[in-house]
Amino acid sequence: MKERILITGGAGFIGSNLAAALLKRPNTDVVIADDFSSGDWRNLIDVDCEVRAVFCDDTQLLQDIANGHFSAIYHEAAITDTTVMDQKLMMNVNTDAFAALLEASAQSGTRVIYASSAGTYGNSPAPNCIGSGEEPENIYGFSKLAMDRIAARWYDKHPSSIIGLRYFNVYGPGEHHKNERDGTKTASMMLQWYQCIQAGNPIKAFEHGEQRRDFVYIGDVIGANLAALESSRSGVCNVGSGKARSYNDIINNLNRTLSIQHPVEFIHNPFPFFQDHTEADLTETSALLHWQPQWSLEQGMDDYIKLLEKGHRGPLETA
Ligand SMILES: NC(=O)c1ccc[n+]([C@@H]2O[C@H](COP(=O)([O-])OP(=O)(O)OC[C@H]3O[C@@H](n4cnc5c(N)ncnc54)[C@H](O)[C@@H]3O)[C@@H](O)[C@H]2O)c1
């Protein structure tokens, strides 16, 4: 029988990549529910699926979930701009809507795989392990931690698995829209700085580029999500490369792949909640998903920059 998989937030960076990857599987159809508040229709040009322009807690959508219209649900919809400070808005969109979706999915016993975040760890010491150091520094991180806590309350009574994936810093094709909306630019620094180079502007980095993050290529994020479809139990786990790399490493890789030496200007960091060191501990990831990351920073950036140089802006699987 044909699988019919729902992706909320499917016009976004990760959701559209996931849709394109799922459509490559045999007997799989995809339905996207996205309110187009931050996503981009251009991500879906080569992704042939049903698209509904609705909120992820739309009444009809929840009814369809409760009636078992979907074989699995990927929940990616969220306010993804981490500088949004409106607490009520963030909690309504990210946490309350998820609670409603979980309740509907419990009625039909539909598996839910949802996007959590490394923002749940705030600035607690790395490596970041599930169950410790969950001290978010902003309302975005808290909204994701609140989702994990709601999910955990369902583990025993939900007829199917609920799997939370705490993504670290994801980069790769399909994120252009994050640099094109008004206000804060939220695309990865790989894309932001690539675009500075193209425009002939200096790279601006927060002093002095030695903050370390776990940067994970979209190919690995797709891999973890596909593995979560097979997971035999509920849980939450990290999705990262397992390595902390510096912002200077990104600059060096841009220079290396493009054979240039681009000027860098170091600037003051205005964000008090900035995470200075994240690094995914992958112990629970391999136990829950039986999955390991495949892409190093060098391999991921080589792949991404090749696609950028070709002018590709859609999901990885449509390149
Ligand atoms: N990209 C990362 O590095 C990263 C890291 C950690 C967690 N995440 C999480 O992964 C998920 C996907 O993020 P992304 O990077 O693809 O961001 P994105 O902004 O590109 O995608 C989010 C999508 O959700 C849609 N959306 C927002 N609110 C909605 C609502 N109420 N109803 C329906 N659709 C709605 C937007 O229009 C957009 O298409 C999010 O939950 C985000 O918090 C992303």
* pTM across the whole model: 0.98
Please compute, for residue 63, the number of CA atoms within 13 A of its CA located in the half-sphere on the CB side: 3
Probe target for ligand 1 pocket from 80, 185, 250, with the most ligand atoms within 8 Å of CB: 80
The beta-strand segments (E) located in the chain are: 3-8, 28-33, 50-52, 72-75, 111-117, 162-167, 169-171, 203-206, 212-213, 215-217, 235-239, 245-246, 264-267
**Is 55 a pocket residue for ligand 1 (Cβ < 6 Å)?**
yes
Residue 222 lies in a domain: yes
Q: Look at residue 24 and tell me whether its pLDDT is greater than 80.
A: yes
Average pLDDT, the chain: 97
Q: What percent of the chain has pLDDT over 70?
A: 100
In this prediction, residue 273 carries a pLDDT of: 81
How far apart are alpha carbons 77 and 90 in whole angstroms? 12
Q: Ligand 1 atom 18: the closest Cα is on which residue? A: 12
Measured at the CA of 206, the angle between CA 126 and CA 83, to 5 degrees, comes to 75
Q: Would you say the CB of residue 167 lies under 6 angstroms from ligand 1?
A: yes
Query: 110-141 pLDDT, tens per residue?
Result: 999 999 999 999 999 999 999 999 999 999 99
- Pick the closest to residue 140 from 180, 184, 171 (CA basis): 184
In the predicted model, is pLDDT for residue 1 greater than 90?
A: no
pLDDT at 182: 77
CB 214 near ligand 1, within 6 Å:
no
Q: Is residue 88 in a domain?
A: yes
**159 class by beta-carbon count within 10 Å (0-12 exposed, 13-18 middle, 19+ buried):** exposed
Residue tagged active-site, from 144, 178, 217, 243: 178
Q: Is the CB of 253 within 6 Å of ligand 1? A: no
Query: Ligand 1 centroid vs 13 CA: distance in angstroms?
Result: 7
Distance CA 241, CA 245 (A): 10
Query: And the tokens for 200?
Result: 């002939």
Question: Per-residue pLDDT averaged across 84-101, rounded?
Answer: 98
| Options 114, 121, 140, 171, the catalytic residue | 140
The mean pLDDT of 203-222, rounded to a whole number, is 97
Instruction: Say yes or no: CB of residue 146 within 6 Å of ligand 1.
Output: no
Q: What is the pLDDT of residue 286?
A: 98
Say if 96 falls within a structural domain: yes
CA distance 317 to 92: 32
pLDDT for residue 183 is more than 80: no
Q: Is residue 161 pLDDT above 80, yes or no?
A: yes
Nearest Cα residue to atom 12 of ligand 1: 76
| 225 CA distance to ligand 1 middle (Å) | 15
**111 is written with which tokens?**
């598996």
In this structure, which amino acid lies at residue 180? E
In this predicted model, what pLDDT tens digit does every residue of 240-250 receive, in sequence order?
999 999 999 99
Asked whether residue 38 is domain-assigned, the answer is yes
- Other C-beta atoms closer than 10 Å to the C-beta of 285 total 25
Task: In whole angstroms, give the CA distance from residue 157 to residue 152.
Answer: 10
Strand partners, 7: 32, 74
Name every residue whose Cβ is closer than 8 Å to that of residue 127 and which is 6 or more positions away in sequence.
244, 279, 280, 281
Domains in the chain: how many in total? Answer: 1
Q: Is residue 227 in some structural domain?
A: yes
Average pLDDT over residues 255-274: 94
- Does 195 fall in a domain? no
Asked whether residue 223 is domain-assigned, the answer is yes
pLDDT, tens digit, for every residue of 55-79? Answer: 999 999 999 999 999 999 999 999 9
Nearest to 117 by CA among 241, 251, 250, 238: 238
253 — phi, psi (to 5°)? Answer: -70, -35
- Are the CB atoms for 27 and 7 separated by under 8 Å? no
Q: Show the tokens assigned to 180.
A: 């094109």
> Is 55 inside any structural domain?
yes
pLDDT exceeds 80 at position 204: yes
Give yes or no: 178 in active site.
yes
Q: Which of 218-222, 266-270, 273-277 has the lowest mean pLDDT?
A: 273-277
In whole angstroms, what is the distance from residue 61 CA to residue 99 CA? 14
Instruction: Check pLDDT > 80 for residue 97.
Output: yes
Burial class, 156, CB count within 10 angstroms (exposed 0-12 / middle 13-18 / buried 19+)? exposed
Across 85-98, average pLDDT: 98
Q: Which residue range forms the structural domain that includes residue 65? A: 3-172+215-242+275-293
Instruction: State which amino acid sits at residue 42.
Output: R
Assign 279 a pLDDT band (cuts: 50, 70, 90). very high
Active site residue 167: no
- DSSP classification of residue 202: P
Burial (0-12, 13-18, 19+ Cβ within 10 Å), 4: middle
Q: What is the pLDDT of residue 141?
A: 97
CATH of the domain at 238: 3.40.50.720
